[in-house]
Structure 1
Amino acid sequence: MTPAGFEHKRILVVDDFENFRTTITRMLQEFGAHTVDAAVNGKDAVSRCRASQYDLVLCDYNLGPGKSGQQVLEQLRHDKLLTNSALFVLISAESSKSIVMAAYDYEPDAYLTKPITAKNLQQRLERLFRQCFEMRDIYKAMDADNINGAIACCRDVIGRESRARPLAQKLLGRLLLRSEQFDAAEKVYRQVLQGRELDWAQVGLAAAKKGQGDWVSAQQWAEQALNNNRMFMPAYDLLSEIQGARDDSMAQQQTIAQAVEISPMSLTRQQKLGQLAYDNHDAALATQAFKSSVKLGEHSCYDRQDVHLQFVRSCAELARTDPDAAKPYARDVSRTLADFEQRFGNKNNERVSVRSTACMYYAATGETDTAAKLLEQLMEQSETVDVDLPVKLDWIVAAESLGKQQLHDQLVKDVLTSYEGNEKALEAIDRVLENPASEKNRKRVAQVNKQGIACYEKADYTGAVECFTRAAKEFPKHIGIELNLLQALIGSLTQGGGNSHQLEQANSVAKRLAVSVSSEHPQAARLLQLNAKLTQAAQQFQGKEN
């Protein structure tokens, strides 16, 4: 058998059109292939790969109803149904940027555009087979999970100046990172970069620096890769990880948003963007990202029930802050809730989860009778059902929206008691609290208050407004921060020459506080004083305008 021979290769052709399957099968047989199987759709393809081990899968992108070719590749990689030496070639009649970018995320060995000629197909496959032949010892070691053996084989291929040398270098870097040999990985990537500025090597070096704990250098190298190639998606992913590790969630959100703009069909990035935006209280972006995630998740092995629930939660939050913006999503929410059990099962926990999220959504959108009835039923079940923290938070939000203060306070007390000392859980609970319970967020509130107050005391009202505005978005239920923001806005309007936007913002803050601060609230007197000053400031500002 020659390295590029077809004789002993097991090949699977996947396409929903019989004529195309027949044409490609005939071509492969003319090339010398003896074993060529066919699958008519994505489900059939995955099933065949579970039953047999193939050396080559030729799969069309558009497979009709069910999984796409990209989702077939996702599933095969996820379930480890392809050996390291197996080839997956994606074929498509379309060449749109979004499809190509989404496909490349899961690294097919080649992407071919129809129409396909026998000559081009044979040349492309023979080139891939030759590369696999030169890499065979590496792949054999990887299939046996012998990482050190694979590393040694990579070094051997690199030392022979083989045509597979660039691939072996790339794989060596990945294996060294995987085995946490970060210094050795850095050396490999720097050697590559001495010859050429390759984006994958720059990202690899960033990953090595990240592993060494050098966050500044890691971020610089990831950004350098993006400067060289704005379309290199792994650079966005790594930069986002680095920003997350450096506790810069807003920058992390911006990075993933840029990646999603380039590659909108990436399910996992849409999911990540939705969660980042939700955590950052950007309800509009979270809703849109989670909506895309729900749509893209159909037939994907990366579809998750928590993403569907987060879509509904985001819509509920958007409805509370901007009802008009939330209205266009009502039909999508109804469909998501209706389809939930069919997609994820109808066990008791799943039913409780979806009903709890629905209850919170109905309460936020004014369907109070439906929400109240659901909440009552859920409370009756609460003693017999073991639910997770997100569901309990849904109950708290629903109770607050329905004005059931006693139930709300009891539920808050229960979760704080249940998760006492669990810092990660407390950070999630902070979302429904006026004052944070987690150490991290208490320190953060103290820090931003200190920064904002320092600006205010120096009569830097613009700086104080900017600081408290950011803090109010980060902690939207924190009364103290909202009051400080209102005071800073009034200071700017009366002494700093404010503008109409600041007057509008001040009125908006005062309106929110009127709802949140009852007459019995400890901060009620301060709010009363600030409202009086705001009235004077508004009159003074309007007098200047006239």
Structure 2
Amino acid sequence: MATNFASHHCLVVDDFQGMRYLMRDMLRECGAVHVEMASNGKEALQRLLERRYDIVLCDYNLGQGKNGQQLLEEAKLRQLIGPATTWIMITAEKSSDWIMGAVEYQPDSYLLKPITADLLLSRLEKIAVRKQAFADIAQAMSNKQYTRAIALCDERLAYDTVNASELQRLKGSLLLDAGEIDAAQKLYETVLANREIAWARTGLGRICFQQGEYEAARDHFQISREQAPGYLEAYDWLARTQQRLGDAEHAESTLSAALKLSPNSPLRQKSLGELALQRGDLDVADAAFRKSIAVGEHSILKTPEAYLGLAKVCSKSSRSDEALKVLKSVQHQFSDDDVALRAKSAEGMIYTQENQLSKAGAVANELKQMLQERATRPDSTASLEVAELMLATGQRDQAVSLLQDVVRNNHEDNLLIDKVQAVFDSANMKAEGSNLVEACRREAVELMNSGVLLARDGKLPEALAAMRGARDKLPANARVLFNFAFVAVMYLQKLGTDEALIEESRQALREANRVSPGEKRFSQLMDALNKLEQR
């Protein structure tokens, strides 16, 4: 049955007026009535902020500013379009670089110019059929209702043979997001028993990675890469695994291979720069950070780490003046408190390396003032870098306090704990630092368990109060946040519905999922809160 597009709101984005009108007229031939137009990325973003569109036809090249891919990425990340929106990218280019770059934020389809109304209508109708098949699942995913989304996948798999592969892929991803590791593993193994598929092989690798089985994970990702050389997700996971195995050289090689296929990823270029900097390969690091900055200029995926990394490369290459200019640039580009702390810390370390101790001390004092004026704690990376400068300039107490806070909020993250210990080691505080780390870990465990033990003894009001206190002390500790929500659910089930507490618990779970995604308890506790709200 043909789709009726008369009620659909459509947006055409193209920097050439003639093409805008041509695409508008084609949409009208397809039956669309409500068609609006934008001539560049900035204007398109404003339109997307003002209303929800059902169909977006977007040219890839939009002149100065954002290109079509960058516009799509920002629209998805800012949730300006939903799963029901059809986004078609239109281009005259046949180069695969930009298509390969759209790994995570893909449009629904690509059309090469010249196009006709018949071709457009055919593509729109095919997408509409697919959207309809996945509409309920997509909505459940948007609401982070993973259990419901998985059940909907199973319902559709019972009869939909056309979309079976995509439904299996989606279900596997949902199972991982929901923390249902055993079920995800079974699904991937069942798929691979029939034929080798890159997403299933990569799924098994992700499970091994999550379980700390890094050698097995590496083998899965290598097989996936060999079987599907264009499947970039396998490259990213392989590089991540090689880093966990301490094989930075091969991790750098893996990212370099991925960037030959897709050179315009700001995040992947940044990751290559960080690896090369870690290995002392300053020429590669310099080029990668500069490329990340260049391709990310108009992208929401632009990252301060590229600027901060470039500043470190310049400093190590005895180009301190350029390093300081880059640090000023990053503070201008990103109005973020943590970025400001990191830039100042990097500036202070440059002065320390040049033995300009009075300047380094002045920067450390500025950082101390910045910390006092903040309403929130700095993130872990900023805390580590500030602490390093504080220790180098003799401000021991402030540095130790920052490092203790990092450990308490991340007491199960061994990689991060190692970085904390390395900061202590560099300040000739190895034994003292080790003792401080262990004490903070014990404190975090006690806080994490306090409310749960009270709840199991039936002391629910006391348990909830204890977990609130733990959450306030450790607001970025995923285990504490999950335990707060667990105790809150027990309290609500026993003592009755409280809308404010339900929302408070949801906020804690969202933060826990941000800090530690893929935990089984996230979906379980969210489902429990939804049931409590409905009773």
Taking structure 2 as the reference length, the TM-score comes to 0.68
The one-letter amino acid of 2:423's match is I
Q: 1:419 aligns with which of 403, 415, 419?
A: 403
| 2:221–2:238 contact (8 Å) kept in structure 1 | yes
Partner of 2:140: 141
The one-letter amino acid of 1:138's match is I
1:349-498 equivalences in 2 (<5 Å): 354=343, 357-358=346-347, 360-361=349-350, 374-375=359-360, 377-378=362-363, 381=366, 384-386=369-371, 388-389=382-383, 392=386, 395=389, 408=392, 410=394, 415=399, 419=403, 422=407, 423-427=417-421, 429=423, 432=426
| 2:285–2:310 contact (8 Å) kept in structure 1 | yes
Partner of 2:154: 155
The CA distance in 1 between the partners of 2:181 and 2:23, in whole Å, is 44
The one-letter amino acid of 1:84's match is P
| 1:6–1:31 contact (8 Å) kept in structure 2 | yes
Cα distance change on mapping 1:363 and 1:285 into 2, 3 Å: farther
Query: For residues 100-147 of structure 1, what are the alpha-carbon distances to aligned partners after superposition, in whole Å with 9 as ceiling and x for unaligned?
Result: 211234222212222222222222221111111222232233334322
1:240 aligns with 2:246: no
The CA distance in 1 between the partners of 2:263 and 2:17, in whole Å, is 31
Partner of 1:218: 217
The CA distance in 1 between the partners of 2:133 and 2:160, in whole Å, is 11
Deviation at 1:38, TM superposition (A): 1.6
| 1:135–1:164 contact (8 Å) kept in structure 2 | no
Partner of 1:229: 228
Percent identity, please: 30
Cα distance change on mapping 1:436 and 1:65 into 2, 3 Å: farther
The CA distance in 2 between the partners of 1:208 and 1:384, in whole Å, is 44
The CA distance in 2 between the partners of 1:51 and 1:203, in whole Å, is 39
The one-letter amino acid of 1:83's match is G
Deviation at 1:69, TM superposition (A): 1.2
The CA distance in 2 between the partners of 1:357 and 1:244, in whole Å, is 24
Partner of 1:131: 130
Partner of 1:66: 65
Deviation at 1:240, TM superposition (A): 2.5
RMSD (CA atoms): 3.4
The CA distance in 1 between the partners of 2:4 and 2:166, in whole Å, is 21
Q: 1:344 aligns with which of 334, 352, 365?
A: 334
Deviation at 1:167, TM superposition (A): 1.9
SS at the partner of 2:369?
coil
1:253 aligns with 2:247: no
SS at the partner of 1:175?
helix
Query: For residues 472-499 of structure 1, what are the alpha-carbon distances to aligned partners after superposition, in whole Å with 9 as ceiling and x for unaligned?
Result: xxxxxxxxxxxxxxxxxxxxxxxxxxxx
1:174 aligns with 2:164: no
Deviates more, 1:22-31 or 1:252-261: 252-261
SS at the partner of 2:84?
coil
1:256-335 equivalences in 2 (<5 Å): 256-319=255-318, 333=323
Query: For residues 342-381 of structure 1, what are the alpha-carbon distances to aligned partners after superposition, in whole Å with 9 as ceiling and x for unaligned?
Result: 322497x8667545534655786x8x8xx67744642564
| 2:383–2:403 contact (8 Å) kept in structure 1 | no
SS at the partner of 2:102?
helix
Q: Identify unmatched segments of 5+ residues in structure 1.
A: 320-325, 397-406, 441-546
1:189-200 equivalences in 2 (<5 Å): 189-200=188-199
Deviates more, 1:167-176 or 1:372-381: 372-381
The one-letter amino acid of 1:166's match is S
SS at the partner of 1:122?
helix
The CA distance in 1 between the partners of 2:75 and 2:195, in whole Å, is 33
Cα distance change on mapping 1:168 and 1:385 into 2, 3 Å: closer
The one-letter amino acid of 1:344's match is F
The one-letter amino acid of 1:410's match is G
The CA distance in 2 between the partners of 1:146 and 1:379, in whole Å, is 46
Query: For residues 221-274 of structure 1, what are the alpha-carbon distances to aligned partners after superposition, in whole Å with 9 as ceiling and x for unaligned?
Result: 211111112221011122233334444444333322322232111111112222
The CA distance in 2 between the partners of 1:249 and 1:272, in whole Å, is 11
| 1:294–1:308 contact (8 Å) kept in structure 2 | yes
Partner of 1:449: none
1:165 aligns with 2:150: no
| 1:88–1:109 contact (8 Å) kept in structure 2 | yes
| 2:351–2:360 contact (8 Å) kept in structure 1 | no
Deviation at 1:212, TM superposition (A): 4.9
Partner of 2:37: 38
Query: For residues 275-315 of structure 1, what are the alpha-carbon distances to aligned partners after superposition, in whole Å with 9 as ceiling and x for unaligned?
Result: 23333443333222222222222122222334312210122
Cα distance change on mapping 1:383 and 1:11 into 2, 3 Å: closer
SS at the partner of 2:182?
helix
The CA distance in 1 between the partners of 2:107 and 2:269, in whole Å, is 21
Cα distance change on mapping 1:395 and 1:284 into 2, 3 Å: farther
Partner of 1:84: 83
| 1:84–1:139 contact (8 Å) kept in structure 2 | yes
Q: Which has the higher contact order (CA 8 A, sep 6+)?
A: 2
SS at the partner of 2:394?
helix
Query: For residues 208-229 of structure 1, what are the alpha-carbon distances to aligned partners after superposition, in whole Å with 9 as ceiling and x for unaligned?
Result: 3434554443322211111112
1:52 aligns with 2:51: yes
SS at the partner of 1:419?
helix
Partner of 2:473: none
Deviation at 1:316, TM superposition (A): 0.9
SS at the partner of 1:107?
coil
